[in-house]
Amino acid sequence: MSDTLSTPQLSPMAQSYKGAQPHHVVIVGGGFGGLYTAKSLKGKNVQVTLIDKRNFHLFQPLLYQVATGGLSAGDISSPLRAVLREQQNVQVLMGEVIGLDPDSQHIELKDGETIAYDSLIVATGVKHHYFGKEHWADIAPGIKTVEDALEMRRRIFLAFEAAEKEADPQRRKALQTFVVVGGGPTGVELAGALAELAHGTLKHDFRNIDTAQTQILLLEGMDRVLPPYPPELSVEARKSLEALGVTVRTSTLVTNIDGDVITLKCGDQQEQILAGTVLWAAGMQASPLGKVVAEKTGAELDRAGRVMVESDLSVPGYPNFYVLGDLAHYAHQGDRPLPGTAAVAMQQGEYLGKVIRKRLADQAVVPFQYKDYGSMAVIGRNAAVANLGLAKISGFPAWFIWVFVHIYYLIEFDNKLLVMTQWAWNYFTRKRGVRLITGDDDLPFETEPPESEAQDGPTANQPEKQQTVAKI
């Protein structure tokens, strides 16, 4: 690969920076990639328009703490206008982009408005992937947005409340059984937080149930949790999870979810379990805008729907059209695409700011090169794993590094202070203060058995449920 890339010849419209109007950069998406691109263009001779469906930036790595009552949504969210208010060359618009035309260089918003651009940057991220079982979304919510986290929190705490009132032991046990599907960083962190919540925080809050008897099952289709991490850290993560009371099942797939009955497959063996709450952390796929990009530009998509980009993050054939972050399939470094992490998106955002500045000055640019400073996942109190390249750390040292890094990368000072204070209080008191149930009080399945199951005995076509459901 060449160390430099030639300066592309942009269309006449894309050369507007040479006239009276500044070069117009439109950024779609206010996540890590989009926000860091906008910040890197501060004070430059460009006009930036940042468009997002929400009016805030969300620190997604800590969403699981919102879902388990450790933090509030406001602690990890920052209004985009507040973050960028000192940048006079940036305008923030709240809207949803549904279409684009790279030839005439404009985008279309859901409300019908069109906006012209000289350079376009798309960073709309990913959504949950249920591998063709989209109807599972109502039963097994994922965690990518604030609404997702609040829905998880509602179901988690509602399950304990329902168990407190449930007289039937089998139903009570189902209500106190939680299944986390996916053993990657999100699944591991979510399962660990659930275990600390059930076996610690809530231990003395109820009278009719013992929350210490809560069962948390973490399922992973691969042969170990945290598959991208070194094997020794996967082993340490599993030990820490099991020490918290999490049952870890690897090489196990979910083949069906029907209400509170979960069908699992491990090798040639199939079994069913009863679980009142199923939480999804198993897979992601590109946002719908990725497909629009491919249709309009002819760009290739990978199996997850991500756009395959050039070494400068541009869409092939369109040098002033860039895709970055989770939506980009970047295969120009190493033997596999870059992971969809916040660190990658941040670095790509800063890189694109430099690319635009250099191209406006008719300077050549170098390909994007990701600097991997390591990866880490927290399991619980004083328990984490960190892969820092030459150093592989677990336990309290890894946990301390994880805390420091996450506070450092929170966007606003207010958020840093709030999270640090909340974590310190939770650490010494073992309390999670945001244990609120919002929304309706409906469970994701019926608490009473259907009438067909309330007959004197099972029929030939309706076998008794407890005979087909395995205990865990």
Known catalytic residue at 232: no
> In the predicted model, is pLDDT for residue 333 greater than 80?
yes
> In the predicted model, is pLDDT for residue 411 greater than 90?
no
> In the predicted model, is pLDDT for residue 470 greater than 80?
no
- Domain range holding 44? 13-128+284-360
Half-sphere exposure of residue 326: CA atoms within 13 angstroms, side-chain side: 22
Contacts with 390 (C-beta within 8 Å, 6 or more apart), sequence order: none
What confidence score (pLDDT) does residue 462 get? 39
257 and 350 assigned to the same domain: no
Helix (H) or strand (E) holding 80: helix 80-83
146 and 55 assigned to the same domain: no
Per DSSP bridges, beta strands 284-286 and 126-128 are: antiparallel
Number of Cβ within 10 Å of residue 231's Cβ equals: 11
275 and 297 assigned to the same domain: no
Say if 469 falls within a structural domain.
Answer: no
What confidence score (pLDDT) does residue 445 get? 60
Q: What angle do CA 350, 353, 358 make, to 5 degrees?
A: 130
Q: What angle do CA 201, 202, 203 make, to 5 degrees?
A: 95
Over residues 54-61, the mean pLDDT reads 95
DSSP string, 389-446: TTEEEESHHHHHHHHHHHHHH-SSHHHHHHHHHHHHHHHHH---------S----SS-
191 and 229 assigned to the same domain: yes
35 and 83 assigned to the same domain: yes
Indicate the average pLDDT of the chain. 89
The owner of tokens 């120009």 is 332
Contact between residue 286 and residue 309 where contact means Cβ atoms under 8 Å apart:
no
> In the predicted model, is pLDDT for residue 1 greater than 90?
no
Listed range (183-192, 257-266, 453-462) with the worst mean pLDDT? 453-462
Distance between CA 328 and CA 310 in Å, rounded?
Answer: 10
Say if 346 falls within a structural domain.
Answer: yes
213 and 226 assigned to the same domain: yes
Provide the CATH number for the domain around residue 87.
Answer: 3.50.50.60
Say if 435 falls within a structural domain.
Answer: no
What confidence score (pLDDT) does residue 430 get? 78
Distance between CA 226 and CA 376 in Å, rounded?
Answer: 10
Over residues 417-422, the mean pLDDT reads 90
What confidence score (pLDDT) does residue 442 get? 74
What confidence score (pLDDT) does residue 129 get? 87
* Among the listed residues 88, 78, 95, 98, the one whose alpha carbon sits nearest the alpha carbon of residue 35: 78
Q: Which two tokens stand for residue 161?
A: 């409340």
Question: Is the pTM value of this prediction over 0.95?
Answer: no
Provide the CATH number for the domain around residue 191.
Answer: 3.50.50.100
Say if 351 falls within a structural domain.
Answer: yes
Query: Residues 338-378: pLDDT tens digits?
Result: 998 999 999 999 999 999 999 999 999 999 999 999 999 99
Over residues 73-89, the mean pLDDT reads 95
Say if 465 falls within a structural domain.
Answer: no
- DSSP 8-state assignment for residue 365: B
Distance between CA 283 and CA 304 in Å, rounded?
Answer: 9
Q: Which two tokens stand for residue 54?
A: 């929400």
What confidence score (pLDDT) does residue 3 get? 58
Query: Residues 234-279: pLDDT tens digits?
Result: 999 999 999 999 999 999 999 999 989 999 999 999 999 999 999 9
Over residues 441-455, the mean pLDDT reads 53
Say if 415 falls within a structural domain.
Answer: no
191 and 233 assigned to the same domain: yes
What confidence score (pLDDT) does residue 412 get? 87
Distance between CA 119 and CA 141 in Å, rounded?
Answer: 36
Contacts with 98 (C-beta within 8 Å, 6 or more apart), sequence order: 108, 109, 110, 292
Percent of the chain clearing pLDDT 90 (strictly above): 76
158 and 290 assigned to the same domain: no
Q: What angle do CA 238, 221, 213 make, to 5 degrees?
A: 50
Number of Cβ within 10 Å of residue 188's Cβ equals: 32
Contact between residue 352 and residue 37 where contact means Cβ atoms under 8 Å apart:
yes
H-type alpha helices, 84-207: 146-165, 169-175, 185-196
Question: Which of 314, 340, 360 lies at the terminal end of a domain, its last residue?
Answer: 360
The owner of tokens 């309290």 is 396
Distance between CA 424 and CA 283 in Å, rounded?
Answer: 32
Distance between CA 198 and CA 408 in Å, rounded?
Answer: 29
- Of the candidates 189, 196, 236, 310, the residue annotated as catalytic is 189
Helix 231-243 to helix 185-196 angle, to the nearest 10 degrees? Answer: 20
What is the 3 state secondary structure string of 230-278?
Answer: CHHHHHHHHHHHHHCCEEEEECCEEEEEECCEEEEEECCEEEEEECCEE
> In the predicted model, is pLDDT for residue 2 greater than 60?
no
What confidence score (pLDDT) does residue 458 get? 39
Distance between CA 51 and CA 330 in Å, rounded?
Answer: 23
Our count of domains for the chain comes to: 2
Over residues 384-392, the mean pLDDT reads 92
44 and 119 assigned to the same domain: yes
Contact between residue 426 and residue 420 where contact means Cβ atoms under 8 Å apart:
no
Say if 460 falls within a structural domain.
Answer: no
> In the predicted model, is pLDDT for residue 15 greater than 90?
no
306 and 213 assigned to the same domain: no
Number of H helices, E strands in the chain: 12, 25
> In the predicted model, is pLDDT for residue 147 greater than 80?
yes
Contacts with 143 (C-beta within 8 Å, 6 or more apart), sequence order: 63, 64, 67, 149, 152, 186, 190, 279, 280, 281
Over residues 170-199, the mean pLDDT reads 96
Q: What angle do CA 135, 138, 143 make, to 5 degrees?
A: 110
> In the predicted model, is pLDDT for residue 43 greater than 50?
yes
Over residues 143-157, the mean pLDDT reads 95
| Confidence band for 4, pLDDT divided at 50, 70 and 90 | low
53 and 112 assigned to the same domain: yes
Question: Helix-strand-coil percent breakdown of the chain, rounded to 5?
Answer: 35, 25, 40
| Confidence band for 454, pLDDT divided at 50, 70 and 90 | very low
* Among the listed residues 447, 437, 433, 442, the one whose alpha carbon sits nearest the alpha carbon of residue 202: 433
